[in-house]
Amino acid sequence: MRFLLTAEQRDFARSLDAMLTAADTPATVRAWSAGDAGPGRALWSRIAEAGVFALAAPEEYEGLGPLPVELGLACVELGRHAVPGPLVETVAAAALLARLAELGQEGPAKRLLPAIVSGACAASVLFPGASPYALDADTADAVLVVSGKELRLAPGHGPVQRSADPARRLSRPLGGGELLAAGPELTRALVHATVLGRLAAAGQCLGVAEALLHRTVAYVKQRTQFGVPIGSFQAVKHRLADTLVAVEFARPLLYGAALTLAPGDVAAAKVTAGEAAYAAARTALQLHGAVGYTQELDLSLWLRKARPLRDAWGTPGECRARVLAG
């Protein structure tokens, strides 16, 4: 059995990293947080051209997938570059529509999936048992709401609420709307979409953790105290080493969950990656000192993302309970 990534998978991650590095994502995040979705939607189109959204959709709807391992790799890069927008929600929407089509309800997939794959349609979702708020409903082209045994297309949304992460723009979808699907097939498709959404969120968490650790290591190498870099102090080394262990422990769990797609494995990956991101945020904040609190420093873009992402798509308690349930 081979546990290493293939050359093609590594090349895909590297090409996505290079594209996002050149895209000035910090400026895009700040514009998105201020309500200017223009730069973010332009970046969204480039991400779609790279094939990210096609990874969650089958070939008959112009997708490439499902390819969960590649999807996990892509989400790590999206998290590492703090890309804003309903990325996980769009993945979950694609998974929901694709599974519904497999179960015999092809109409919603034929109507929405090709546009999702091409990047023309950014989707948000609201599933039962989650927060009452949908992410980025104000900029999404379609908001899919599952309530009871019905899937509806929300006709609009309420006011945008303040969030711990300004780039996570939350609002309540309006009730009613066009009925897209219903019945027991929807329940089965919802389970599958939740697993894919949780896997994508785990990938984003791992990417956020990597970015915070990388920036903190660079900072402690250049910040001096008593005439030496603060990174030379044993206490700082230990803190960074603990954070690195948390990140590297989460990585194989993410890849393993992508291979099995077992709900327990995905929940384990999500809770571990989420805790790694939160631990990396605390380490980054402590080692940057007072400058870490400032909004002007790009570090804040990842700091404010870590905790909401940890709690999205299953809180740590919910994920641990799912792991124990087997």
Segment holding 224, helix H or strand E: strand 224-225
Distance of CA 95 to the CA centre of its chain: 14
Give the distance, in angstroms, between the CA of residue 300 and the centroid of all CA atoms in the same chain.
Answer: 17
Q: Per-10-residue mean pLDDT for the chain, 326 residues long?
A: 83 96 95 95 96 94 92 97 96 96 94 96 93 93 93 95 92 94 93 96 98 97 94 96 97 96 97 98 94 89 95 95 90
| Any domain includes 39 | no
The dihedral of CA 293, 284, 89, 60: what is its sign? positive
Per DSSP, the three-state class of 160 is coil
**CA count, 13 A, side-chain hemisphere, 263:** 15
Asked whether residue 7 is domain-assigned, the answer is: no
Phi, psi of 148 (to 5 degrees): 60, -125
- Domain presence at residue 288: yes
Q: How many residues does the chain have?
A: 326
State the Cα–Cα distance between residues 191 and 103, nearest whole angstrom: 13
CATH of the domain at 198: 1.20.140.10
pLDDT score, position 248: 96
* Amino acid at position 317, single letter: G
Residue 274's φ and ψ, nearest 5 degrees, are -65, -40
Answer whether residue 121 is part of any domain.
no
- Whether the CB-CB separation of 117 and 160 falls below 8 Å is answered with no
Rg (CA), the chain: 19
- pLDDT value, residue 2: 64
User: What per-residue confidence (pLDDT) applies to 131?
Assistant: 85
- The pLDDT assigned to 4 comes to 85
Prior bond to 66 cis, omega within 30? yes
| Nearest CA-CA partner of 261 in 74, 88, 69 | 69
For residue 289, what are the domain limits? 188-325
Residue 216, in any domain of the structure: yes
- Ramachandran quadrant class, 177 (left: phi over 0; alpha: psi -120 to 50; beta: rest): left
Q: Is residue 149 included in any domain, yes or no?
A: no
Tally of CA atoms within 13 A in the half-sphere of 238 that contains its CB: 3
230 class by beta-carbon count within 10 Å (0-12 exposed, 13-18 middle, 19+ buried): middle
Give domain status of residue 93, yes or no: no
Q: How far apart are CA 158 and CA 138, in angstroms?
A: 9
pTM above 0.85, yes or no: yes
- The three-class DSSP label of residue 211 is helix
Q: What is the DSSP string of 240-271?
A: HHHHHHHHHHHHHHHHHHHHH--HHHHHHHHH
Number of domains into which the chain is organized: 1
Task: Answer yes or no: is 317 within a domain.
Answer: yes
CA 151 to chain centre: 22
Tokens at 274, concatenated: 């989420």
Three-state DSSP class for 132? Answer: coil
